[in-house]
Structure 1
Amino acid sequence: MSTESKPLVRYRLSGPTMGSRFSAVFFAAAGLDTQPVQAELQAAVDRVDAQMSTWKPDSTLMRLNRAPLGQWFDLPDELYQVLLAGLHVGSLSHGAFDIALGAQVSAWGFGPAPAGAVETPRCPAATALTLNPERRAVRKVAEVSLDLNGIAKGFGVDELARCLERHGIQRYLVGIDGELRARGEKPDGAWRVALETPAYGRREPFAALELTDAAIATSGDYRHWRERDGQRYSHTLDPHSGAPLHNGIASVTVLTASCLYADAWATALMVLGVDHGARLAREQGLSAVFLVRDGENIREVTVGI
C-alpha cells in the first residue's frame, strides 16, 4: 500500500516568527515524527527573519542599509531572491511596489525608528541598487533605506511549504498571519480560507475562498494603522508620494502560485487602486479581490475568480 493510500492523520505545528506566529496544518501517515519537521520549519522562518527584519539592527538587511555607497555587499541566497522579486514586481507595477520606503515607513510611525520628517529625497530601489547575479551581491549607488515587510512574510510562507515538501508532505496549508499557501486537498476537500471583512479593531469573515495548489496574501488598511490629528492613516504607503494611501481601497487579496509574489502584488494593486490595479491584474494573469469602501458599505471587485 502506498503512503498516499494509507489513512491520513491531521497534524498542526506552529512557532514564533516576525512578531507573529507561523502555522503548518498538514495530513500525513500516522506515527510521523514531527520533531525534525518542527525544527526545520522554525529554522526556515528564523533564517528569513535574521536576514530580512527591519526590527533587528544586526539583520543582513539592516547591515546592507548601513553599508557604504559603491561597496559590493554579498547576500545570502534567500535575501537575494527576495530583492530580485521585489525589483521585478516594482518594474511590472510601474513603481507601485517599492522596497525602498524604509525611511518613509519610519517617518509615519510604522517602522523601528522614531517617527519624524524625512529629510532626504527618496530614491526608488530600481535606481538605487545594482545587483550582481554571478556573485549574489548588491551595491548601493544612492542612499536608500530598504524595507521588505511587504514581501518577506510571503517568502517565509514559501519556505515553510518547501520544508514540508522535503519531508514528502503533499497536503498542507501553511501561513504567517494572512499570508497562506496550500498544496493538495484535505481528505474532505479543498482548503477553505477566510477573506476578512476590512473592519477596524475586530476580525470577522467577509467570504470564504477555496485554496488548492496556490498561495494567497492580503494587503489592507484595517490591520495596521495610526491616528494623527484625528485622521486614520494606513501602514501602506504610496511610493510616488511617500505618504499613506487614501484611495478608498480597504483591501486587496491576491491568489497566485507563490506567496512571495502574492504578498508583493497585493501591496502593488492596493497602491494602484481598483481601476488601474484590476487592469494590471488581468494583464499579469493574477486572481484578485478588491474590497472598496463606499460610504459605510464595502464594494467587491474580483478579477480571475
Structure 2
Amino acid sequence: MINKIAVLTSGGDCPGMNAAIRGVVRAAQAKNIEVFGVHNGYVGLIGKQIVPLDSRAVSDTIHRGGTFLGTARSEEFRTSAGQQKALANLQELGIDGLVVIGGDGSLSGARILGEMGMKVAGIPGTIDNDLWGTEYTVGADTAVNTVVDAIDKIRDTASAHGRVMVVEVMGRESGWIALTAGFAGGAELILIPEIAYDLNRVCERVKEAVANKHHCIIVIAEGAGNGMAIGDHIHRKTGLETRVSVLGHIQRGGSPTVFDRVLASRLGAGAVKALLDGKTNVMLGCQGANIVAIDFADALGQKKVIDAEEFNLASIMSI
C-alpha cells in the first residue's frame, strides 16, 4: 500500500521540473495519497527539509522554469552514512514511495535508495536528453528551442557583417543539443563529442560556406572542444573575422514549452501510477505516444547514442 509519497528535484535544474512536481502532487491527491516535497534535493533529504504539498502549493507552477523545491548536489549522500540518514528520515515520516526528478546522477541516487528498500520511481529531467529508454527528457525541448532562437538572432548579425560565428552550447558528454539545435537552426557545421572531426577540414568547410553564403554558423557542444579556442584557430587559419558566443546557463532556464509541460505532467502522473501498481526502481519515459516504466538497470546501465543518420542529414541540409 502507498499512503505517502515524497518528491524531490536534484542535480541541474531544467524547464518542466515544476510541471513534473505538479503532476506528481495532483495525480497522488486524486488517489487520496499524501504528498511531501523535499527541498534542495538529497541535501534536504538528509537535512530533513521535508514539507507537505497539496494542490494549492503547486498552483500556477506549470509555466515556471527551474524548480520551486530547489536543487543541490550532495557529497554526503555519496556516503553510506548519508544514504542511511536519508532513508531513515523518509521512514520516520511514514513515507512509502519516493519520486526523484533529475538526470543520471540523481536517478542513480534513487536507485541506491530503492536497493535499500524504499519504493522509488524516477522522472528524467535534463536538457541533455541523454537517458536511455526515453525519446525525450523533461527540459530538452525547451533548451533546444532556446538555442535555436539564439542561432536565429546570431545569424542576422553574421549575415550583416559576413562573419564566422561559433556558438558553444551545453553538452559535456552528449551532443544532442548541438545536433538538434544546429540542424533546426541551419548551422553550416555541427561539432559534437560523439563524432571526431579534423580542424583543418573544419576550416576548409568554413571557407566554402563563406564563399557561398557570405557567412558561417558553427554550433559546438562544450564536450567537443572549447568554443573560444576553436574560434581563434579558425580566424588564424582562414583570416576570416570570427566571433564566439557561449550560451551558457541561459539554456537551462525559461518557461517550458508546451511539449515539456505536457510531457512532465504525464511523467509525474506516470510515476505515481507506477508506485501504486507495485513497480519500483523504475524510470518513467516516453516511447512514441506511450508513457512506459523502464528498469533503472536498463535506463542507467545503457548509453543513449546519437543518430548518425540525423547527423549526416544535417550536414547535407547545410550545403
* TM-score normalised by structure 1 residue count: 0.28
Higher strand share: 1
* TM-score normalised by structure 2 residue count: 0.28
Larger RCO of the pair (alpha carbons < 8 Å, separation 6+): 2
Greater radius of gyration (CA): 2
Higher helix share: 2
